[in-house]
Amino acid sequence: MDNSGKNREHWQSRAGFILAAAGSAIGLGNIWRFPYMTGEHGGAAFILIYLIAVLLLGYPLLVNEMALGRKAQSDPVGIFKRLAPQSPWWLTGALAVFTGFFILSYYAVVAGWSFAYIYKVVLAAASPGMDHALAFREHISSVVEPIVWQGLFVVLTVAIIAAGVVNGIQRWSTILMPVLFVLLLVLIVRSITLPGAGEGLVYYLKPDFGKVTGRTVLAALSQAFFSLSIGMGAILTYGSYLRKKDEITGSAAWVAGLDTGIALLAGLALFPAIFALGFEPGAGPGLAFITLPAVFAKMPLGGFFGVLFFFLLGIAALTSAISLLEVVTAWLIDEKGWSRRRAAVCMGIAVFIVGIPASLGYSLLKGFSFPGLGMDMLDTYDWISNSIFLPLGGILTAVFTGYVWGGTRAAREVGRGRKASSIVKIWVWLIRYVVPVLIIVIMAVGIYDTFVR
Ligand code: TRP
């Protein structure tokens, strides 16, 4: 608990923090999850609801987590212990640590697929006659291979976290994020210049509200939380490496803006190509991994663009996975006095083991699903963490800040170093009255729709 003084590492600049936080936010959520959720939930109408969720719930919670972290200079459990000693609020931090661990376990499975595909696409390009969709389905549904790639990805993540906040997280985020941006632009140009791309653009940009239900709204909410990395302590933890003099509202706006921008750009890279080459947008989690390889196979220079895409996906996944592992690591360092290296390695092993069933959901555990959910294992991990744990974490954080820590104190902390106070006033109001209530309503309706549909 006393790791917060001079010993605690801090981001070296404002840009370093923004890039690290954006690196956490921008990940599989933007490039894999956002497009398939958009495809499943009716295109532009979903996007509109998503944007409202980011503005009304996502941004305020982003500010909230940064402020709590900067104030308490501790891991998620320590933050609540410091600001509300002798109360059960530390359990909110514990829930956050647990959720981060859980998300990372299946995140590594999907990230493993992307790395495996980099070399698979090359192989595929070398054998023109093969059925690509089938070949890629076979990768996901084999037993050992995806687990090996999942393990390799965890090793990479552990290596960066073991190197520390500045030399690991900040350094690699600063190098990898610009690379990601350039790759994405190249892909967009390719996609929208394919003949017949227009139909995809229409689907992507023209809302159809006929498909919107309670499930859609819960899906948009969970997507906003997942994509912004909020609700499970990642931003709390990154916020705790801020110096007292660092400002927050502007940095949070950068992070939310970059994250949303990259998600929208990823859709722009995918949908025109999917439509132009005659595929279905509603393919679900397989959209990037089964549909896209087939799309690349039909596209001029598809092998090249395929490698580019999966490389992009792998980089984005890596800078996010490190933020997930950092939460558990920070907890072990700050609360249990472990060394950084030991914490990262032990948690890496545990995360790997817990993730294995998510990988086996397409092979040994195929067809198994929990009653009422009707989802494969990976989707089940995803649904539980993103539709239940993240919103729950969001509610608890907002209620804690607005009523326990207190609106006045929170406002003073957020407003530190700012001249205009109107944005801080709106923020407190959102955190006290809008965020908790809206999340509860959306969760209730969405869960009802899921089980009683
Ligand atoms: N935001 C990341 C993505 O979009 C995933 C992620 C990283 C995350 N850290 C998180 C999600 C914390 C929820 C909470 O891929």
User: Of all atoms in ligand 1, which is nearest to the CA of residue 25?
Assistant: 1
Least confident of 134-138, 305-309, 350-354: 134-138
282: confidence class by pLDDT, cuts 50, 70, 90: confident
Rounded CA-CA distance 360/147 in Å is: 8
Residue 359 has pLDDT above 80, yes or no: yes
Position in ligand 1 atom list of the atom nearest CA 28: 15
The 10s digit of each residue's pLDDT in 66-93 is 999 999 999 999 999 999 999 999 999 9
Ligand 1 mean position to 29 CA, how many Å? 7
- Cβ-proximal residues to 113 (8 Å cutoff; 6+ apart), any chain: 139, 140, 146, 149, 289
Q: Give pLDDT, residue 2.
A: 42
Considering only CA atoms, which residue is closest to atom 12 of ligand 1? 229
Q: Whose CA is nearest to atom 14 of ligand 1?
A: 229
User: Which residues form ligand 1's pocket by a CB distance below 6 Å?
Assistant: 24-25, 27-30, 103, 226-227, 229, 232, 234, 320, 323-324
Q: For residue 305, give every residue at least 6 positions away whose Cβ sits within 8 Å of its Cβ, in sequence order, or none.
A: 186, 187, 190, 296, 299
Distance (Å, rounded) from C-alpha 274 to C-alpha 298? Answer: 10
CA of 421 to the centre of ligand 1 (A): 30
List, in order, residues 6 or more apart from 31 with CB less than 8 Å away: 262, 263, 266, 288, 312, 313, 316
Q: What is the structure's pLDDT at 154?
A: 96
From ligand 1's centre to the CA of 225, what distance in Å? 8
Q: Which residue in the block uniquely carries the two structure tokens 């940009």?
A: 205
Given a cut of 70, is residue 334 above it in pLDDT?
yes
User: pLDDT tens digits, residue range 392-440?
Assistant: 999 999 999 999 999 999 999 998 866 667 889 999 999 999 999 999 9
C-alpha 195 – ligand 1 centre gap (Å): 35
Phi, psi of 245 (to 5 degrees): -85, -10
Residue with the smallest CA separation from ligand 1 atom 9 is 229
Residue 199 has pLDDT above 70, yes or no: yes
pTM: 0.90
Both tokens assigned to 201: 């653009």
Q: Which of 236, 323, 328 to mutate to test the pocket of ligand 1 (most atoms within 8 A of CB)?
A: 323
Ligand 1 centroid from CA 117, angstroms: 21
For the ranges 144-153, 222-231, 359-368, the lowest mean pLDDT is seen at 359-368
- Please report the atom of ligand 1 found closest to the CA of residue 234: 12
The pLDDT > 90 percentage for the chain reads 54
Ligand 1 midpoint to CA 399 (Å): 22
Atom of ligand 1 nearest to the CA of 32: 15
Q: Give the pLDDT mean for 332-351.
A: 95
More confident residue, 212 or 102: 102
Nearest CA owner, ligand 1 atom 6: 229
User: Cα(308)–Cα(312) distance, rounded to whole angstroms?
Assistant: 6
Tell me the average pLDDT of the chain.
88
pLDDT at 4 over 50: no
pLDDT at position 133, please? Answer: 66
Q: Indicate whether 355 pLDDT > 60.
A: yes
Q: Which atom of ligand 1 is nearest to the CA of 321?
A: 7
- Closest-CA residue, ligand 1 atom 8, reads 229
The atom number, within ligand 1, closest to the CA of 316 reads: 15
Ligand 1 center from residue 323 Cα (angstroms): 8
Candidates 367, 326, 363; CA nearest to 347 is 326
Please tell me the distance between residue 92's alpha carbon and the centre of ligand 1 in angstroms: 18
- Residues 111-135 pLDDT 10s: 999 999 887 877 766 666 666 667 7
Q: How far is the CA of 226 from the centre of ligand 1 (A)?
A: 5
Q: Which domains, ranges and CATH numbers included, belong to the chain?
A: 14-451 (1.10.4160)
